[in-house]
Structure 1
Amino acid sequence: MFAFGSGFLLGLSLIVAIGAQNAFVLRQGLRREHVFPVVLTCALSDAVLIAAGVSGFGALMTTFPEIENIARWGGAAFLAVYGMKSLWSALKSQSALTPADGPPPSLMQTFLVVLACTWLNPHVYLDTVVLLGSVSTQYDGARISFAAGAMTASFGFFFALGYGAALLRPLFARPAAWRLLDLVIGATMIALAASLVARS
Structure 2
Amino acid sequence: MLISLTHGLLICAGLIVAIGAQNAFVLQQGLRREHAWLVAGVCALCDWLLIGLGVLGLGALIAQQALLMEVARWAGAAFLAWQAWLALRRAMLSNALVAGTGSQGSWRAALAATLAVTLLNPQVYLETLVLLGAIGAVQPSPLGFFIGAALASFGWFFGLVAAAGWLAPRLASPRVWQIIDALIAMILAWVAWRLASGAMLP
TM bucket (normalised to shorter chain) is over 0.9
Instruction: Quickly say closer, same or farther: Cα 1:181–1:54, change in 2 above 3 A.
Output: same
Q: Which residue of 1 aligns with 2:139?
A: 139
Q: Which residue of 2 aligns with 1:58?
A: 59
User: What is the identity percentage for the equivalent residue pairs of Structure 1 and Structure 2?
Assistant: 42
Please list the CA deviations of residues 87-143 of structure 1 after superposition, one character each: whole Å capped at 9, or x if unmatched: 01100142322587xx32111111111111111111111111111012123314x11
Structure 1 residue 51: Cα displacement: 0.6
Q: Which residue of 2 aligns with 1:33?
A: 34
Instruction: Quickly say closer, same or farther: Cα 1:122–1:170, change in 2 above 3 A.
Output: same
What is the rounded CA distance, in whole Å, between the counterparts of 1:49 and 1:99 in structure 2? 35
Q: Does 1:122 align with 2:122?
A: yes
TM-score normalised according to structure 2 size: 0.91
SS state at 2:171 partner:
helix
Structure 1 residue 160: Cα displacement: 0.6
Contact 1:35-1:163 at 8 Å conserved across structures = no
What is the rounded CA distance, in whole Å, between the counterparts of 1:104 and 1:70 in structure 2? 31
Which letter maps to 2:54?
Answer: G
Structure 1 residue 31: Cα displacement: 2.3
Contact 2:27-2:161 at 8 Å conserved across structures = yes
Q: Which residue of 1 aligns with 2:168?
A: 169
Deviation larger for 175-184 or 19-28: 19-28
What is the rounded CA distance, in whole Å, between the counterparts of 1:181 and 1:49 in structure 2? 30
Which letter maps to 1:7?
Answer: G
Q: How many residues align?
A: 197
What is the rounded CA distance, in whole Å, between the counterparts of 1:171 and 1:112 in structure 2? 29
**Deviating 4+ runs (over 4 angstroms):** none
Which letter maps to 2:192?
Answer: A
Contact 1:171-1:177 at 8 Å conserved across structures = no
Contact 2:91-2:179 at 8 Å conserved across structures = yes
- Unaligned 5+ segments in structure 1 are none
What is the rounded CA distance, in whole Å, between the counterparts of 1:149 and 1:67 in structure 2? 29
TM-score normalised according to structure 1 size: 0.92
What is the rounded CA distance, in whole Å, between the counterparts of 2:127 and 2:89 in structure 1? 31
What is the rounded CA distance, in whole Å, between the counterparts of 1:99 and 1:116 in structure 2? 25
- Unaligned 5+ segments in structure 2 are none
What is the rounded CA distance, in whole Å, between the counterparts of 1:119 and 1:106 in structure 2? 20
Q: Which residue of 1 aligns with 2:74?
A: 73
Please list the CA deviations of residues 164-200 of structure 1 after superposition, one character each: whole Å capped at 9, or x if unmatched: 2122124421111111110011111111111111118
CA RMSD of aligned residues (A): 1.6
Residue 99 of structure 2, aligned match among 97, 100, 111: 97
